[in-house]
Amino acid sequence: MKFKSLFYISGIAVFILSFLTYYITLEPTTSFWDCSEFILSANKLEVNHPSGAPLFVLLGRVFTFLSFGNPQKIAWSINLMSGLFSAGTVFFLFQIIVFMAKKMSNNAFLVIGCGIIGSLTFAFTDSFWFSAVEGEVYALSMFFLSAGFWAALKWEAGFGEPENNHWLLFIAILVGLGLGVHLLNLLIIPSITMIVFLKSYKVSVKNILLSFVLGCILLLSVLYILVPATMWFLSVSEIIFINNLHLPLNSGLIFAVLTWGGASALGIRFFQKKGSVNVSLAIFSVTLVLSGFSVYAVNLIRSQAGPPVNFGEPDNIFSLIDYLNREQYPKRPLLYGENFNSPVIGVDERKTKDFDGQRYVERDLPSAYIYAPETCTFFPRMYSNSPGHEEAYKSWVNITGKKVRVQNRDGKSEVLTVPSLGEQLVFFVRFQAGHMFWRYLMWNFVGRQNDIQGRGEPTRGNWISGIKPIDQLRLGPQDNQPEWMRNNRARNTYFFIPFLFGILGAVFFYKKNKVMFYSILSLFLLAGLGLVVYINEIPLVPRERDYVFVGSFMVFSIWIGFGFMAIAEWLPGKLSSKITTVLLFIIVFFGSPALLFSQNFNDHDRSNRYAARDFAANILNSCPGNAILFTSGDNDTYPLLYCQEVEEIRPDVRIVVMPFVSANWFINQLKMQKNRSDGLKMNLPQKKIDEGKLDYVSVQHKIQKKVDFLEVLKFVSSDAEGTKLQTRNGDSLSFIPAVDLYFNVSAQGKTGTIPVSLKNREVLYKHELAFWDIVVSNAISRPICFVSKLEAQNHGLLNYLHQVGLVYQLVPVKNKVKSILENPPANTGRLYTQLMNDFAWGNIDKPDVNIDYFTVYNAGVFQLQNVFNSLAKSLLEEGQKEKACEVLHKSILLFPTQVFHYNSYSLQLANLLFEAGLKEDGINYLEDFVYSVEENLNYYVQFEANQRDRLKTDIVTDMFYYQQLLHIIGQQKLDKEFPNAGKNFESLAMVFNKGL
């Protein structure tokens, strides 16, 4: 068979094999995290969170047609898009490897074999496969990155031929379009620059370094010069046309675009006539990059249409600039800045412009803090002052630093210990580069311990090889591990085989083609350590970030492909026959892509998993009609919005996202009708919010009696005499004149008041004012509900909640709840019907469905097991023993302990089984629980005393569980059934008391 035929057939086979894999393992509906948001955005061309992904949204909209009008298939169709473009990435990677391999060997089988092994290895890697089966931007982003590199190789292969520079123009449009998916696509620029530069000039160490530096400069120029300058030009033109010439909105944008297009065309034509081909090419390339980038006009157009989901509201050029700059998110220092304990000494008042309906007016941006300069350092890696972060930093680095005396904002002097540059580098190496990159690299090519997110413990989320002596050196004992570690679906071991092939291939590649080696090495480093530096990750992340570094893993997969060629070419002459080469291909194939496929399939197969969708639908269906529902984070917000926007489940419920309540655009949108939900009543004037006059208000104890909070809001909103305080600099400040407040509530057929105390507050900030405005202004006319009791507790409302399904409704009746761990009262009849009959549970009880860590985690966040326990307890108190038993049995079946491992809710369940008279079930449950706890503790005993520090939380927790289990055993007089439990506990206690 001719090489060309073999090449095409193999490429198509690689594409089909990878696509079928993704198709079979595709998630059938929405997922947790941002997937729900991207899916709903694509469905109706809505505006997702900054900095957006308009090209993903447009392409996703096209793929929704595959749902053929079935709203429950829309998520699947967009997930399918990810699978298709991921298979496209694998196809391009096959071609990339083959193009490079042809320069190193004339053996067609070797060349094609390299492409097959390298591309399929990447196809089945942990991180790439994860993104390929869900509706997220990273699959599409990798497609553009791989297509760009492929185009660069096509240019290199045709160097010197007429019109070959068309490939560079193609790359330019890919880069521009890629910006409409994710900034990660820019990482290809230095590699392409090196290919072009080193093909055009003599290859030397100097030129290799020069080409890399030029490539980095070009990348930074696109990111920090070209795009910002373009947006500045558009904004200047717009403000002249609107504010000075009084023309309609967007007139300046149209003029600027036409001017730029005309100038580009003239420039290209002019330099072509002068024979300046390179200048003409540069202008054309910039024009195409910006043409691709112009896809962001979709955000502008759709935002102006006012869709139900309109995050950031980029409805004019200035708000679009703020949207692209992610102004609503805090900035992270990069090369110089503050540390975690740097005191704030002032604020930088930042301004932007906004359209008020007639002209552009100035408005405030979120202020930037100014930190004491004495505490600012170079390369600040330990900068976050969020709760818990200081201790997290200290768990990775022994911070002795340098002592610095500073004055805080109150004028008081204090001595602080500022981390030294050396300590910053230690944290960078150990956590940011080690834990947050190297660990992910090893996950993909050496093995993964489990999918449980950890904080550096030896039992959660580490990389392992499957070779016990090596794993034991890093992670402690590998024998007698508990069931939850042994049988985790994501426990994948590759025994270093793909990794060693990659190292071998990299060495071989370097020897054969240094120019191309340095080109792809630059991509490996920038997509790995370069991103580590740029992201500057915080020490407590909400989820694993391996998907960010997939570009780096793609390069390593290229090297794995060349590992096959390296071994084949290094074989002695007598062993280098065709049969030997075929046998070697089979060995390497089974040692890399086939091994990855076999190990990774069960934990990447998301078929029949509906948990994210069903949990969200259950929450929405729990709400009374026309309710206002407060949510707190990604996973209790985006899936709910998906259900409303895509499947039209309960569109009457108005979702209020608490992290967005401080944003002016979000407050304004709350007042507008959305789907079947009327706008919220609010008393705070939007104009004052936009002008920054309500960023905070003072709390004064001027009125001694209780005051209606509604009247206070009207007072704060007023400009009447006596409603303002005068500050030292002469400004007027709104204030609240009382600390004992109340507001009226009508819920569940009852009307009454709920008290609010501000005795311990000096100021209320905008987000708190907005929260109270929403609650107080609507509590009479609409049900107020919370997904999380914590949000209600933070505002002193915990004792006025009533459980309604999976949400908590505000009622004017005080309950007896003493802590957030307790559930408030509920209508047991209604709750029984919901839990037992009405709600769907996403197949979480099916043993053949892959229920991963974050599904279990979110079930805990929503306190699903706690809701069942609470209902069973209430039914027992009401004398409905039979129903209580049904609820308990349902809970045991729905949350199998092989997946939903024992926790504090399990202790409640054990007690309730005995209270319900289910003694046999109770004993069986206790036996499994005791066995699980003993298994954990006996495993921890194997660790040396000085190794147990990072296991301290687990040991303390399991010892507490054991102690409580012994209490239940004694209370139920089960000493005969558990004759050794007490002795075992005492012996374990003696061991751990010495080592902790």
CB-CB neighbours of 477 under 10 Å: 17
Structure-block tokens of residue 142: 């990798």
725 closest CA partner among 707, 695, 698, 701: 698
Structure-block tokens of residue 650: 């309960």
What tens digit of pLDDT does each residue of 825-877 get? 999 999 999 999 999 999 999 999 999 999 999 999 999 999 999 999 999 99
According to DSSP, residue 244 is labeled: I
Coil, strand or helix at 42 = helix
* β-bridge pairing 696-703 and 732-738: parallel
444 closest CA partner among 592, 247, 272: 592
Q: What is the average per-residue pLDDT within 460-471?
A: 96
pLDDT, position 407: 80
**Whole-angstrom Cα distance, residue 55 to residue 180?**
5
What are the C-alpha distances in Å from 127 to residues 80, 432, 759?
17, 18, 51
Crossing angle between the packed helical segments 904-915 and 952-971, to the nearest 10 degrees: 10
- Mean residue pLDDT of the chain comes to 93
What tens digit of pLDDT does each residue of 714-725 get? 999 988 888 888
Structure-block tokens of residue 255: 């003029």
**Whole-angstrom Cα distance, residue 949 to residue 952?**
5
What are the C-alpha distances in Å from 932 to residues 898, 927, 958, 978?
10, 9, 9, 14
Residues 6+ apart with CB under 8 A from 328: 50, 312, 322, 366, 663
CB-CB neighbours of 829 under 10 Å: 12
Are 785 and 791 in contact by the 8 Å Cβ rule? The answer is no
pLDDT at 575 over 70: no
Mean pLDDT is lowest, of 85-89, 559-563, 949-953, for 949-953
**Whole-angstrom Cα distance, residue 488 to residue 508?**
36
pLDDT, position 996: 55
pLDDT at 597 over 80: yes
Residue 162: pLDDT band (50, 70, 90) is confident
294 closest CA partner among 139, 202, 179: 179
Q: Do you know the residue count of the chain?
A: 996
**Whole-angstrom Cα distance, residue 233 to residue 828?**
63
pLDDT at 995 over 60: no
What tens digit of pLDDT does each residue of 26-44 get? 999 999 999 999 999 999 9
Element holding 785 (H helix, E strand): strand 784-786
Residues 6+ apart with CB under 8 A from 415: 403, 404, 405
Phi, psi angles (nearest 5°) of residue 211: -65, -35
Structure-block tokens of residue 119: 């591309």
462 closest CA partner among 481, 479, 443: 443
Are 639 and 615 in contact by the 8 Å Cβ rule? The answer is yes
**Whole-angstrom Cα distance, residue 445 to residue 622?**
44
Strand partners, 405: 415
Are 643 and 650 in contact by the 8 Å Cβ rule? The answer is yes
What tens digit of pLDDT does each residue of 391-405 get? 999 999 999 989 998
**Whole-angstrom Cα distance, residue 488 to residue 448?**
10
**% of residues, the chain, pLDDT over 70:** 99
pLDDT, position 692: 86
943 closest CA partner among 892, 992, 886: 992
pLDDT at 439 over 70: yes
**Whole-angstrom Cα distance, residue 635 to residue 618?**
14
**Whole-angstrom Cα distance, residue 797 to residue 812?**
10
Virtual CA dihedral for 363, 368, 370, 376, nearest 10 degrees? -150
What tens digit of pLDDT does each residue of 665-706 get? 999 999 999 999 999 999 999 989 988 889 899 999 889 899
SS (H, E, C) 828-862: HHHHHHHHHHHCCCCCCCCCCCCCCHHHHHHHHHC
Q: Which residue carries 């379009």 as its tokens?
A: 177
Are 710 and 718 in contact by the 8 Å Cβ rule? The answer is no
* β-bridge pairing 763-765 and 750-757: unpaired
Amino acid at position 285, single letter: S
**Whole-angstrom Cα distance, residue 715 to residue 82?**
53
According to DSSP, residue 331 is labeled: -
Strand partners, 734: 724
Give CA 404 to chain center in angstroms.
36
pLDDT, position 746: 94
Are 441 and 528 in contact by the 8 Å Cβ rule? The answer is yes
Coil, strand or helix at 953 = helix
**Whole-angstrom Cα distance, residue 431 to residue 538?**
9
What tens digit of pLDDT does each residue of 116-134 get? 999 999 999 999 999 999 9
Residue 304: pLDDT band (50, 70, 90) is very high
**Whole-angstrom Cα distance, residue 327 to residue 306?**
20
What tens digit of pLDDT does each residue of 516-530 get? 999 999 999 999 999
SS (H, E, C) 507-558: HHHHHHCHHHHHHHHHHHHHHHHHHHHHHCCCCCCCCCCHHHHHHHHHHHHH
Helices marked H in 434-488 — which ranges?
439-445, 468-475, 483-486
Tell me how many degrees the CA angle 531-535-540 measures, rounded to the nearest 5: 125
Structure-block tokens of residue 16: 């089909």
Are 696 and 764 in contact by the 8 Å Cβ rule? The answer is yes
Residue 412: pLDDT band (50, 70, 90) is confident
Residues of 3-35 as b/e, b for ≥16 C-beta within 10 angstroms? eeeebeebbeebbebbbebbbebbbbbbbbbbb
* β-bridge pairing 368-371 and 377-378: unpaired
Positive or negative, the Cα torsion across 336, 342, 343, 349? Answer: positive
**Whole-angstrom Cα distance, residue 183 to residue 187?**
8
pLDDT, position 822: 85
Residue 576: pLDDT band (50, 70, 90) is low
pLDDT at 962 over 90: yes
Structure-block tokens of residue 569: 């070419």
**Whole-angstrom Cα distance, residue 423 to residue 381?**
9
What tens digit of pLDDT does each residue of 308-347 get? 999 999 999 999 999 999 988 888 999 999 999 999 888 8
698 closest CA partner among 720, 724, 663, 731: 724
Are 264 and 256 in contact by the 8 Å Cβ rule? The answer is no
**% of residues, the chain, pLDDT over 90:** 83
Are 942 and 948 in contact by the 8 Å Cβ rule? The answer is no
Domains of the chain, residue spans? 158-329, 331-570, 613-819, 831-995
* Side-chain half-sphere exposure of 462, counting CA atoms within 13 A: 16
pLDDT at 577 over 90: no
CB-CB neighbours of 777 under 10 Å: 20
**Whole-angstrom Cα distance, residue 220 to residue 208?**
19
Are 458 and 953 in contact by the 8 Å Cβ rule? The answer is no
**Whole-angstrom Cα distance, residue 323 to residue 316?**
10
